[in-house]
A and B are shown apart, each in its own frame.
Chain A
Amino acid sequence: MASRTPGTRRTGIAMKPAPFRYHLATDLPDALSALAEPDAKLLAGGQSLMPMANFRLLRPSVLIDINRVAGLGALAQQPGGIRIGALSRHATIETAALIARAHPILSHAMTHVAHPTIRNRGTIGGSLAHNDPAAEWPMLVLLLDGALTLASRRGARVVAARDFLTGPLATALAQDEMVIAIDLPDSPPGTGWGFAEIARRHGDFALAAVGVTLRAKDGCIADPRIALTGVGDTALRAGAAEAILNGQRPDAVVVAAAIAAIRDVLHPMTDLHASAAYRRHLAGVLAARAIRDAWRRAGGEA
């Protein structure tokens, strides 16, 4: 993932942002209070926000800098799962021992998120709130059945990832709400994972990416989860393919059926980098690879 600005008709005016005010939030209530202002925007890592502001595609009235809000970047093991503070940087997830233990797919997937300099700044909350159709984080929280805690002056609420991601660059966030944490339930012991992504260049937005988790039980697949990104309006779960795999041996026929089911439900876009047909093809190829890797990591027989 890199910062992306949606295709736009260029007027050739701007690389400097329109005037805005800057508010350095001291704590969460202060940030939420400031966020109540119309057209206020939160500044976390700024990796998508600042380019969009510089192109004047966004004209925030005030940028609320939450980088110094204490506690927003914490990682914690909790009963039944881990909690990732929204201000956690991609680089933190990439390297944290807690993550490697609980969800190694995240540690690996982070190496596909743009480049180290961007991963040092960009945040998980920011990526989810931005919800780029080809970003990794929306797909990962969907895959891992995550839930997001959203806060506003009106209080906090918890929204499942599948309900949070509503469309391209759109989420369930109200204008005055911010993501403060992401909860990921622990995967059962023995869970194997696979992750496959193809981008034009390493670190670019995915042309297609697939994440898979599953377990091996009596030589068959159990609890398969498959999520994709880059191949639709927003990240998605491949429910039909999961159902096909569940309880089956991952032989060629079963995997082919699952791949066909995945390709059936996709509505990828065509852009300068790839056609819809290629993206659909690629999603199937990558899904097969990710399923194979997950099966191997789950200790399944070859």
Chain B
Amino acid sequence: MTFAEARPRFVGAPIRRLEDPRLLTGHGSFTDDHAPPRCAHVAFRRADHPHARIVAVDTEGAARAPGVIGVFTAADLAPLVRPLRATSRMKEYHATEILALASDIVRYVGQPVVAVLADSRYMAEDAAELLDIAYEPLPVATSPAEAVAPGAALLHPEAGTNVLLTRAFTRGDIDAAFAAASVTVSGTFRLGRKTPAALENRACLAEWDHARRALTIHAATGIPGVLRDALAECLDLPGTRVRVIAGDVGGSFGGKGSVYPEELAVAALARKLGRPVKWTGDRMEDLTATSQAFDEIVTAELALAADGTMLGLRADVLGDIGAGSIYPWTAALEPVQVVSFLPGPYRIAAYAARVRGVATPKSPTGPYRGVGRPAATFAMERLVDLAAARLGLDPAELRRRNLVTAEEFPYRTGSGLIWDRAGFQESLAAACDAGNYAALREEQAIARGAGRWFGIGLATYAELTGIGSRIAVAPGMPINTGTETSSIRIDATGAVTAAFGIAAHGQGLETALAQVVADALGCRIEDIAILQGDSALVPSSTGTYASRSAVIAGGAGALAAREVRRKLLRAAALLLEVAEADLDATDGIVRVVGTDRSLTFREIARAVYSEMGRIPRDRREDLAASETYDPYLGTAACATHLAVVEVDPETYHITIRAYYVAEDCGRIINPLIVDGQVQGGVAQGIGAALLEDVVYDGAGQILTASFVDYLLPTAAEIPPIGITHLELPPPDNLLGVRGMGEGGTIGAPAAIANAVADALGLAITDLPITPDRLFRLLASGETA
């Protein structure tokens, strides 16, 4: 059987995003837009100590304050909601609990301790000020080095250590590789702590329906299915009585990809009080109590032969995971990914690496656009440039000699990842072409002659996207992240509803999925309503994260649409008295090929559902199907970034003069969306490289609790980005697409770091690079 998508009309076309008219005209429907009557508003009083015992909580003054509905502590919530615990199959892993409110011990500044419910958020905040919480401060070990030291103050004494996870990877004979090396280069690289800083802060609204004894939760989340499953478990309710709706969601970048204490508290309180309860996080709460990112120290050493062949890679990674595990990803997600992806797209025979995740009294880290790979790519790509300098080779040439080539795929990396065929070499060549690399080097020579600090930086990376059921997205995590389900139906009017479990939060997935379904079904985009972001739509879903939705949900959508199309054509064949093979569907019309006979979807639907007798009773079937897709393996996505920077020799101000990305995301569903994802990702990577840094002081206090101190890149800091899409054979999954939502953030920190290092001849080891750090580096006289 042939499918309409063999001749795509919509996939590949620059369709303007269907979401944008409502979002751009203020007609979006975000969690905070819902204002049910009798709603109680929550203000959380949060820990102002990084590590302390809660000795006493005096709620009396707050309880008597105007407008207060109730004041709740951990003791009040304990009978209402069980703690969450993300377990792991990893050996040497200590799981930690997530409580709705801190009980006994607080472990980071910003952890919710008391919930105050009032008629308005203003009143709730007024009352929260009146709470009197007595703490007994406990010792802190705030830096990873302190926290792993023998005798360090323990954040989770029951684990017996602050090292909550350890994992090692080995492949080949690493000692032999280093013994045979002509050149070794090494370094300790630190990628700072970041925060997602989505436009919309986290928010949730829980409503208890007395009639159905059921909870409906509106939440700013990317994982409504996971949240539904977690709440059903923690509140001891069947899934039929918990529904999580993620309507319009204003960005996540990973920050809305976990289940949070506030969601447990709000759901439990709505059920207890029998009235709507809403919490809308403010920016301070977002900066202190949304999962943070990265914070990795990577010590690595690369061994090469005289001709530049990479022989072996050794690494020791220390990840600062903050106060404990997030749910469901465990504390292993970010640090283990660093080690998994460190060898990158290179052919390296021997690999030996260890990773430790250490608990510190800071906000927990969690998923963030790129997960692990920004730190891995930063470290590896710095080593490549250091090696090129030592070998006297051009950095592009050294990459070319070591990137896995087309004939080597599928390639198994030192950490056991499998790269399917992707354009590693081609991306390097294309980025150098786009930027006119040879001419840039000439321009650099002239600029240097004139005393200018002009640098060129490359970064090539590969990532695994659209990961099927073979491995979990987070190592050792015991839930399936490898499948998605789509349920599609043509109703009695001929209109198409396509429902998915995923939950978009700005990526344009409604548009992309509509393009996929329209092609597979043979209808117009406007015939389709895409439903998503609602746990009630499909039996099970883990949502939108990890560059998976186009691959997995798109695949499910194509499968379900093909099945509906088969049913539609069977019905049309009966109605038109022709063979199914003679029929084709496009634009919502089924035509008899080579004739002028046709039926619209509407006419067929009417015949199927309403005009009884037109189709024999035993041949009649609903125009509906539900399908689940599992790509089993993941697919590699890759790119090379090329950054050109100039550093002012007096002020050390860094200007990005040009930026190029050449990427392989397989078949492109919508070039406008793909370009937007690349641009946004690069902007966040530039933030990581030059601006963004969550800072805690030695006592564990957060110093970056507002946007005055936490600096995001703005339009003024982001250069035009030249994007090249490689046109290569597509990957072997249903749609031939690769996930591409995160890549920009993976390549940019490394490319910028290499460019600045190239401009200054300095060993750039810590990101973000700031003018002040360059000033101090130059003052200390260190050179590469």
Contacts and interface: CB of A to CB of B under 8 A. Distances in A.
A200 B770 contact: yes
Interface string A174-203: 000000000000000000000000101111
B714 A201 contact: yes
Interface string B282-310: 11110011000000000000000000000
B691 A5 contact: no
A15 interface: yes
B284 A10 contact: yes
Given A10-B48, A10-B109, A282-B651, A201 B716 contact: yes
Interface string B30-51: 0000000000000111111000
Interface stretch (A97-105, A135-143, A229-237, A270-278): A270-278
Nearest to A115: B714
Interface stretch (B124-132, B512-520, B570-578): B124-132
A16 interface: yes
B121 interface: yes
Contacts of B691: 200-201
Interface in B441-456: none
A200 B705 CA distance: 17
B288 A12 contact: yes
A14 B705 CA distance: 12
Given A12-B48, A286-B651, A201 B122 contact: no
A12 B46 contact: yes
Contacts of B772: 273-275, 278
Given A15-B284, A278-B771, A272 B126 contact: no
B13 interface: no
A18 interface: yes
Nearest to B116: A13
Most buried by B among A9, A15, A204, A207: A15
B1 interface: no
B288 A278 contact: no
Nearest to A10: B705
A7 interface: yes
B653 interface: yes
A285 interface: yes
Contacts of B125: 13-16
Given A10-B109, A12-B285, A275-B772, A202 B651 contact: no
Given A15-B283, A15-B284, A202-B716, A10 B770 contact: no
Contacts of B289: 12
Given A200-B711, A272-B695, A285-B650, A12 B45 contact: yes
Contacts of A278: 652, 771-772, 775-776
Contacts of B121: 16
B717 interface: yes
Contact of A198 (B46, B285, B653, B702): B653
B288 A9 contact: no
A148 B651 CA distance: 34
Most buried by A among B289, B770, B772: B772
Interface string A263-281: 0000000001111011001
Given A202-B716, A278-B772, A278-B775, A272 B651 contact: no
A13 B43 contact: yes
A207 B653 CA distance: 11
Given A16-B121, A198-B771, A10 B708 contact: no
B456 to A, nearest CB: 24
B75 interface: no
Contacts of A16: 121-122, 125, 282
Contacts of B285: 12, 15
A157 interface: no
A9 B711 contact: no
A281 B774 CA distance: 12
A266 to B, nearest CB: 15
B282 A9 contact: no
Interface string B754-784: 0000000000000000111001100100000
B126 to A, nearest CB: 7
A170 interface: no
Contacts of A15: 125, 282-285
B129 A285 contact: no
Given A5-B708, A203-B716, A12 B109 contact: yes
B57 interface: no
A19 interface: yes
Interface in A195-235: 198, 200-205, 207
A12 to B, nearest CB: 3
B724 interface: no
B480 interface: no
B284 A201 contact: no
A11 interface: yes
Contacts of B709: 7, 272-273
Interface string A1-32: 01111010111111111110000000000000
Contacts of B288: 10, 12
B284 A277 contact: no
A272 B772 CA distance: 10
A275 B68 CA distance: 46
B691 to A, nearest CB: 7
A273 B122 CA distance: 33
A69 to B, nearest CB: 28
Contact of B706 (A5, A17, A200, A281): A5
A62 B713 CA distance: 36
B497 interface: no
B170 interface: no
Contacts of B47: 12
A277 B772 CA distance: 9
A2 B289 CA distance: 24
Most buried by B among A18, A203, A272, A275: A272
A154 to B, nearest CB: 35
B48 A11 contact: yes
11 contacts: A12-B45, A12-B48, A12-B110, A13-B129, A14-B128, A16-B121, A19-B122, A56-B129, A198-B651, A274-B772, A281-B775
Given A13-B43, A15-B283, 18 more contacts: A3-B708, A9-B701, A10-B48, A10-B109, A12-B48, A12-B285, A13-B129, A14-B284, A198-B653, A200-B770, A201-B691, A202-B717, A205-B708, A273-B772, A274-B771, A277-B775, A277-B776, A282-B651
Closest 3 CB pairs between A and B? A12-B46, A15-B282, A285-B650
